Amino acid sequence: MTEIPRNAAALPQTPSDGGNRPSPEDPHAPARRAVQDVVDGFDDHRRRFREVTRRAPARHADRDWHGMQADALERLEVYESAVNRAVTALGRSLGDHLRCHACWIGMKTAYGGLVADRPDPELARTFFNSATRRVFATVGIDPQIEFGEPAPASGEPADPPPYTTRPHGGSTAALIRDVLATHPIGAPYRSLDGDARRIAERIDDYRGSAWGDQPIDAVDVLDAVFYRNKGAYLVGRIRGGRRLMPLVIALVNEADGIAADAVLLTVDEASIVFSFTRSAFHADIDVPARVVRFLKSIMPAKRVAELYLALGYDKHGKAELYRDLIAHLERSADAFEVAPGDRGLVMVVFTLPSYDVVFKVIRDAFGYPKITSREHVMGRYELVFKHDRAGRLVDTQEWKHLAIPRHRVSDGLLAELLGAASQSVALDGDRVVLKHVYTERRVTPLNLHLRTAAEAAGCDAVRDFGVAIKDLTATNIFPGDMLLKNFGVTRHGRVVFYDYDEICLLTECNFREMPEPRTEEEAMSAEPWFYVGPHDIFPSELGTFMGLYGPLREVFIAAHGDLLHPEFWHRMQERHAAGEVIDIFPYRPERRLRARAP
Ligand X SMILES: Nc1ncnc2c1ncn2[C@@H]1O[C@H](COP(=O)(O)OP(=O)(O)OP(=O)(O)O)[C@@H](O)[C@H]1O
Closest contact distance (angstroms) between CB of 269 and ligand X is 22
Which 3 state secondary structure label does DSSP give 33? helix
The amino acid that residue 139 corresponds to is: V
Q: Which is nearer to ligand X, 335 or 446 (CB)?
A: 446
Q: Give, rounded to a whole angstrom, the gap between the first and last alpha carbons of the chain.
A: 69
Closest contact distance (angstroms) between CB of 564 and Mg ion is 22
486 is a contact residue toward ligand X (CB under 6 A): yes
Say if residue 342 is exposed, middle or buried (CB neighbours under 10 Å; 0-12, 13-18, 19+): middle
504 is a contact residue toward ligand X (CB under 6 A): no
Q: Which is nearer to ligand X, 304 or 384 (CB)?
A: 384
In the set 395, 464, 499, 501, the catalytic residue is 395
Among 358, 421, 425, 450, binds ligand X (CB under 6 A): 358
Span near ligand X by CB under 6 A; candidates 238-246, 284-292, 382-390, 483-491? 483-491
The HSE-up count of residue 289 (CA atoms within 13 Å, CB side) is 17
120 is a contact residue toward Mg ion (CB under 5 A): no
Span near ligand X by CB under 6 A; candidates 28-36, 123-131, 285-293, 484-492? 484-492
Give a three-class secondary structure readout of 51-103: HHHCCHHHHHHHCCHHHHHHHHHHHHHHHHHHHHHHHHHHHHHHHHHCCCHHH
Helices H / strands E in the chain, number of each: 19, 19
Closest contact distance (angstroms) between CB of 455 and ligand X is 23
306 is a contact residue toward Mg ion (CB under 5 A): no
482 is a contact residue toward ligand X (CB under 6 A): no
Closest of 274, 272, 332 to residue 494, by C-alpha: 272
Among 344, 445, 479, 543, binds Mg ion (CB under 5 A): 344
479 is a contact residue toward ligand X (CB under 6 A): no
Quick check: bond before 479 cis, omega within 30? no
**DSSP string for residues in 307-375:** HHHHTT-HHHHHHHHHHHHHHHHHT----BEEPSSSPPSSEEEEEETTEEEEEEEE-SS--TT----HH
Q: Which is nearer to ligand X, 367 or 515 (CB)?
A: 367
Closest of 568, 565, 539, 564 to residue 554, by C-alpha: 564
Among 57, 488, 539, 586, binds ligand X (CB under 6 A): 488
Q: Which is nearer to ligand X, 43 or 502 (CB)?
A: 502
Closest contact distance (angstroms) between CB of 557 and ligand X is 23
499 is a contact residue toward ligand X (CB under 6 A): yes
306 is a contact residue toward ligand X (CB under 6 A): no
Among 53, 129, 275, 486, binds Mg ion (CB under 5 A): 486
Q: Which residue is nearest to Mg ion (CB)?
A: 499
Among 178, 286, 342, 364, binds ligand X (CB under 6 A): 342
Closest contact distance (angstroms) between CB of 499 and Mg ion is 4
Instruction: Give which of ligand X, Mg ion, none residue 273 binds (C-beta under 5 to 8 Å, depending on kind).
Output: none
In angstroms, the CA 260 to CA 198 distance is: 9
Instruction: Give which of Mg ion, ligand X, none residue 498 binds (C-beta under 5 to 8 Å, depending on kind).
Output: ligand X
Q: Which is nearer to ligand X, 145 or 453 (CB)?
A: 453
User: Given its phi and psi angles, is residue 341 left (phi above 0), alpha (psi -120 to 50 degrees) or beta?
Assistant: left
Contacts by residues 321-325 (CB-CB < 8 Å, ≥ 24 positions apart)? 321/357, 321/397, 321/439, 322/141, 322/402, 323/148, 323/150, 325/355, 325/357
What is the pattern of x (binds ligand X, CB under 6 A) and - over residues 433-472? Answer: -------x-xx-x---------------------------
341 is a contact residue toward ligand X (CB under 6 A): yes
Structural element, H or E, at residue 382: helix 374-386
Say if residue 590 is exposed, middle or buried (CB neighbours under 10 Å; 0-12, 13-18, 19+): exposed
499 is a contact residue toward Mg ion (CB under 5 A): yes
236 beta partners: 221, 247
Residues binding Mg ion: what is the number (CB under 5 A)?
A: 3
Distances (CA, A) of 190 to 176, 193, 226, 260, 531: 15, 9, 20, 9, 55
In angstroms, the CA 324 to CA 150 distance is: 10
Among 346, 472, 489, 548, binds ligand X (CB under 6 A): 346
Residues binding ligand X: what is the number (CB under 6 A)?
A: 22
Among 292, 304, 325, 394, binds ligand X (CB under 6 A): 394
Say if residue 573 is exposed, middle or buried (CB neighbours under 10 Å; 0-12, 13-18, 19+): buried
Compute the radius of gyration of the chain from its Cα atoms. Answer: 27
Span near ligand X by CB under 6 A; candidates 154-162, 323-331, 334-342, 464-472? 334-342
269 is a contact residue toward Mg ion (CB under 5 A): no
Q: Which is nearer to ligand X, 295 or 339 (CB)?
A: 339
483 beta partners: none
Any catalytic annotation for residue 395? yes
In angstroms, the CA 341 to CA 442 distance is: 12
Closest of 8, 5, 2 to residue 106, by C-alpha: 8
The amino acid that residue 549 corresponds to is: Y
Q: Which is nearer to ligand X, 471 or 501 (CB)?
A: 501
166 in Cβ contact with 223 (< 8 Å) = no
Q: Which is nearer to ligand X, 176 or 339 (CB)?
A: 339
Among 252, 285, 292, 339, binds ligand X (CB under 6 A): 339
In angstroms, the CA 527 to CA 190 distance is: 59
271 is a contact residue toward Mg ion (CB under 5 A): no
Span near ligand X by CB under 6 A; candidates 152-160, 494-502, 523-531, 589-597? 494-502
Instruction: Give which of ligand X, Mg ion, none residue 347 binds (C-beta under 5 to 8 Å, depending on kind).
Output: ligand X
Span near ligand X by CB under 6 A; candidates 73-81, 195-203, 297-305, 338-346? 338-346
Which amino acids are annotated catalytic? Answer: 395
Which residue ranges make up the site for Mg ion (CB under 5 A)? 344, 486, 499
Residues at the contact surface with ligand X, assessed by CB under 6 A? 339, 341-342, 344-347, 349, 358, 360, 394, 440, 442-443, 445, 481, 485-486, 488, 498-499, 501
